[in-house]
């Protein structure tokens, strides 16, 4: 069932993103007098199509991993003399820039609308209260203690753990001092703490912003009760079901969920004698955790099961909500922050501060789409907004075959006063295809490694 949900979720997410992106190209092309021959969501053989009164074919194709807008263009096929004024290549360079830039712009606009909706409806977030601080860690040495509430990271105000993590990820590669603000338990004002860090989060896979500083978020005690069990994983093969309460492992009592998780993580491929309760009856089974590689040769065990939700105290929840007007500014600001974070992450990956193994392809996107859909509408909409920003940023990279590559040609044309030669564009196309193809293969490889 989880696989089906993941597939459906990724089809919805990619379908929306691709439709908005291509509609941006389509809408501006029409306004510039360009004839659009086909608007396709997906690649390959059309599953459905229709032609409107302007002669544009709208199609939904079989492979839902992208889309395209095909415009009348003399470089691709002969154009009748009476139609030449509607050809894309006959338009001014500024009109061509507008048409090409409209796709990424539509993605940023979609993100703004999604964030606006979240801010207006309101989201419930967890107060960033420190649960524990590891001895001799940077946070401990700086003076942070259990019960402190984080209120600022590197000069940015934070209201939730999501804000904290985003701000910390933006500090990847920092050498020196990291500034945090926190309000000690029972205090009315925040204090400033300076943490000494060295090559913060450099090449961590995946990055662990809080653990690296020695901070563990506060959370309620989770009883060792299964909330969900994935098909064909260790827990399901052992006969476990949602609602089962773990009592003991290898004869040792289990009191909380994290204690059980720690035993599983330390036992990849090893048979565990499990005692559990179901409907008041105590039962026994053998549980064999699967093996998952984190980084290098480090392996941990996993069983494909999650914990049942626990009740969070009311004082640990915070409602983030804005009025319709104020939400516009917040949505634009959040989109800008995420855009800059994405660009900075690309830069740091190119200079070696972030490991390329953090690249994600269609498999990871499908998994996160499914997880966010199961987590609730606010998580799903937030992920949709972030992915839309990522698509917009990636398409603006100056790589031939991407929108950014075409924009680069047009900027050169503005400077030189004449178009880039077709020979140069053809060479750029081959280079761009090689670069994008290599990037896609790398992302797919890392996707498969995460699965294994």
pLDDT tens, position by position, 45-93: 889 999 999 899 999 998 877 889 999 999 888 999 999 999 999 999 9
151 shares its domain with 184: yes
Query: What does the block give as tokens for 356?
Result: 């390329």
- Indicate which CATH number applies to the domain containing 170: 2.30.42.10
End of a domain among 163, 196, 217?
217
Give the CA-trace dihedral at 233, 234, 240, 246, to 10 degrees.
-130
Q: How large is the C-alpha radius of gyration of the chain?
A: 26
CA–CA separation, 320 vs 325, rounded Å? Answer: 15
368 shares its domain with 445: yes
In a domain, 301, yes or no: yes
Nearest residue to 160 (alpha-carbon basis) of 334, 377, 343:
334
Query: What does the block give as tokens for 163?
Result: 């804000």
CA–CA separation, 54 vs 182, rounded Å? Answer: 60
343 shares its domain with 395: yes
What does the pLDDT look like over 156-169, one tens digit per residue?
999 999 899 989 98
What does the pLDDT look like over 372-422, one tens digit per residue?
766 678 888 888 999 999 999 999 999 988 999 999 999 999 999 898 988
User: Does residue 386 contact residue 338 with C-beta atoms inside 8 Å?
Assistant: yes
368 shares its domain with 425: yes
What does the pLDDT look like over 287-324, one tens digit per residue?
999 887 765 567 888 898 988 887 788 888 888 899 99
Residues in the chain: 452
Contacts of 216 (CB under 8 A, 6+ apart): 130, 131, 132, 133, 134, 210
174 shares its domain with 297: no
In a domain, 66, yes or no: no
Where in the sequence is the domain holding 136, given as residue range(s)?
130-217
Q: Cis link prior to 334 (omega < 30° from 0)?
A: no
In a domain, 64, yes or no: no
End of a domain among 217, 237, 260?
217
Angle at 20 between CA 15 and CA 21, to 5 degrees: 100
181 shares its domain with 283: no
pLDDT > 90: percent of the chain: 57
237 shares its domain with 287: yes
Query: What does the block give as tokens for 253?
Result: 């009592």
In a domain, 363, yes or no: yes
CA–CA separation, 95 vs 330, rounded Å? Answer: 31
- Tell whether the model's pLDDT for residue 128 goes beyond 90: yes
CA–CA separation, 398 vs 131, rounded Å? Answer: 45
177 shares its domain with 239: no
Q: Structural domain tally of the chain?
A: 3
Helix axes 93-121, 2-31, angle to 10 degrees: 140
CA–CA separation, 378 vs 321, rounded Å? Answer: 12
Task: Give residue 92's pLDDT.
Answer: 94
What's the mean pLDDT when you consider all of the chain?
Answer: 89
User: Does residue 174 contact residue 264 with C-beta atoms inside 8 Å?
Assistant: no
What does the pLDDT look like over 436-447, one tens digit per residue?
888 888 888 887
Q: Is the pTM of this model over 0.85?
A: no
Give the catalytic positions in this structure: 22
Strands 156-157 and 149-153: antiparallel
End of a domain among 217, 245, 270?
217
């Amino acid at each position: 069932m989880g696989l089906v949900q993941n597939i459906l979720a990724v089809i919805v997410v990619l379908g929306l993103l691709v439709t908005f992106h291509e509609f941006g190209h389509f809408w501006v092309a029409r306004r510039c007098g360009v004839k659009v021959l086909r608007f396709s969501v997906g690649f390959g053989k059309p599953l459905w199509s229709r032609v409107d009164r302007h002669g544009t074919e709208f199609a939904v194709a079989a492979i839902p991993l992208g889309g395209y807008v095909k415009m009348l263009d003399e470089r691709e096929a002969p154009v009748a003399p009476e139609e030449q004024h509607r050809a894309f290549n006959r338009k001014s360079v500024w009109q061509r820039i507008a048409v090409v830039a409209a796709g990424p712009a539509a993605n940023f606009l979609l993100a703004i609308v999604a964030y606006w909706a979240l801010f207006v409806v309101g989201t419930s977030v967890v107060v960033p209260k420190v649960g524990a601080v590891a001895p001799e860690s940077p946070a401990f040495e700086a003076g942070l203690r259990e019960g402190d509430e984080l209120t600022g990271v590197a000069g940015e105000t934070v209201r939730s753990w999501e804000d904290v993590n985003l701000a910390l990820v933006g500090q990847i590669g920092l050498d020196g001092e990291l500034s945090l603000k926190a309000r000690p338990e029972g205090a009315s004002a925040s204090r400033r703490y300076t943490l000494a860090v060295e090559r913060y989060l450099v090449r961590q896979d995946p990055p662990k912003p809080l653990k690296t500083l020695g901070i563990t978020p506060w959370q309620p005690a989770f009883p060792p009760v299964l909330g969900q069990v994935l098909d064909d994983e260790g827990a399901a093969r052992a006969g476990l079901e949602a609602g089962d309460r773990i009592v003991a492992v290898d004869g040792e009592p289990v009191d909380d969920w994290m204690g059980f998780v720690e035993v599983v993580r330390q036992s990849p491929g090893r048979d565990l004698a499990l005692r559990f309760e179901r409907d008041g009856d105590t039962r026994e089974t053998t549980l064999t955790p699967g093996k998952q590689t984190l980084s290098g040769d480090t392996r941990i065990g996993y069983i494909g099961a999650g914990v049942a939700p626990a009740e969070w105290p009311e004082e640990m929840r915070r409602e983030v909500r804005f009025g319709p007007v104020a939400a516009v500014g917040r949505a634009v600001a959040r989109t800008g922050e995420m855009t800059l974070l994405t660009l900075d992450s690309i830069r740091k990956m190119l200079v070696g501060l972030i490991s390329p193994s953090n690249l994600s392809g269609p498999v990871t996107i499908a998994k996160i789409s499914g997880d966010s859909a199961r987590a609730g509408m606010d998580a799903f909409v937030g992920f949709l907004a972030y992915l839309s920003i990522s698509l917009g940023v990636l398409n603006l990279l100056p790589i031939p075959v991407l929108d950014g590559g075409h924009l680069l040609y047009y900027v050169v044309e503005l400077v030189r006063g004449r178009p880039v030669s077709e020979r140069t564009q053809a060479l750029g196309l081959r280079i761009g295809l090689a670069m994008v193809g290599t990037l896609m293969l790398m992302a797919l490889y890392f996707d498969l490694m995460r699965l294994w």
